[in-house]
Amino acid sequence: MIKIGIIVGSTRPGRSGESVARWVHEHAVKRGDAHYELVDLKDYDLPHLDEPLAAATGVYEHPHTKRWSDTIAGFDGFVFVTPEYNHSISGVLKTAIDFLFAEWHDKAAGVVGYGVSGGVRAAEHLRQVLGQIKVADVQVAVELLLHADFENFTAFKPGAHQKDMLSKLLDQVVSWSTALRPLRV
C-alpha cells in the first residue's frame, strides 16, 4: 500500500496546525486507499541546518538528520499542512525540507494551507520549493480561511465544502504517488 505522510508544518505553542493536520488524517484514514501517517515536525526537533555536507551528498553527520531521513524516505507521497507566515511557509518547515534531498524525489504532494488568506501565498511558495526537490505537487489545494473555517479565528470548524476539496486532493496525491512508483525503484 502507498504510504502518505501528513506533515504538520508549524511547531508554535497553541498552533492551529495540529487540529488541521488531525482533520486531514481523520478523513484520509477512512478512505482505505493508502496508509496515512501524521509527521509532526515538533517530534523531530530539528535545529537550524547544521550538516557540514550538502543534502545532495546524502552523507549525514547528525542523528537528528538520520532519523528525519529515515522517516521521509519511508513515504511515497505527502500532504503538507502549512500555515502562512509573512506570505510564506514557516521557517521550521523550510528547514525540514532543506535537511534532505533524495528522500523527497519522485514523490507527489498536496498542500493544505491555512491563514488569514487561506494560506494561498504560502502554498504557492511551497510549490516552488517542491519543484527543486523533485516533488510533483498536485493541482487541487485546500485553502482554510481563519475567518470562515475557524471559530473566533482559533477553533477549527471547517466549512462542509473543505472536506470535498480534501477528498479531491487526496485522490490526486494517491494516484500520482502510485504513478511515480517506477521512478522510485
Ligand X SMILES: Cc1cc2nc3c(=O)[nH]c(=O)nc-3n(C[C@H](O)[C@H](O)[C@H](O)COP(=O)(O)O)c2cc1C
Cell of 37: 501517517
Cell of 184: 522510485
Site membership for ligand X, residue 147 (CB under 6 A): no
Site membership for ligand X, residue 10 (CB under 6 A): yes
- Cell 479565528 sits at which residue? 153
- Phi and psi, residue 147, nearest 5°: -85, -15
Cβ 112 to ligand X, closest distance in Å?
11
Nearer to ligand X, 49 or 116 (CB): 116
Nearer to ligand X, 76 or 149 (CB): 149
Interface pick for ligand X out of 111, 115, 135, 174 (rule CB under 6 A): 115
Contact window for ligand X (CB under 6 A) among 38-46, 93-101, 109-117, 174-182: 109-117
Cβ 34 to ligand X, closest distance in Å?
25
Q: How far lies 87's CA from each of 14, 126, 140, in Å?
A: 20, 11, 20
Q: What is the dihedral of CA 163, 169, 175, 180, to 10 degrees?
A: -150
Q: Which residues are within 8 A (CB) of 149 and not within 5 positions of it... i.e. 6 or more apart?
A: 114, 156, 157, 158, 159, 162
Interface pick for ligand X out of 84, 103, 143, 149 (rule CB under 6 A): 84
**Binding residues for ligand X, per CB under 6 A?**
10, 12, 15-17, 83-87, 114-117, 146
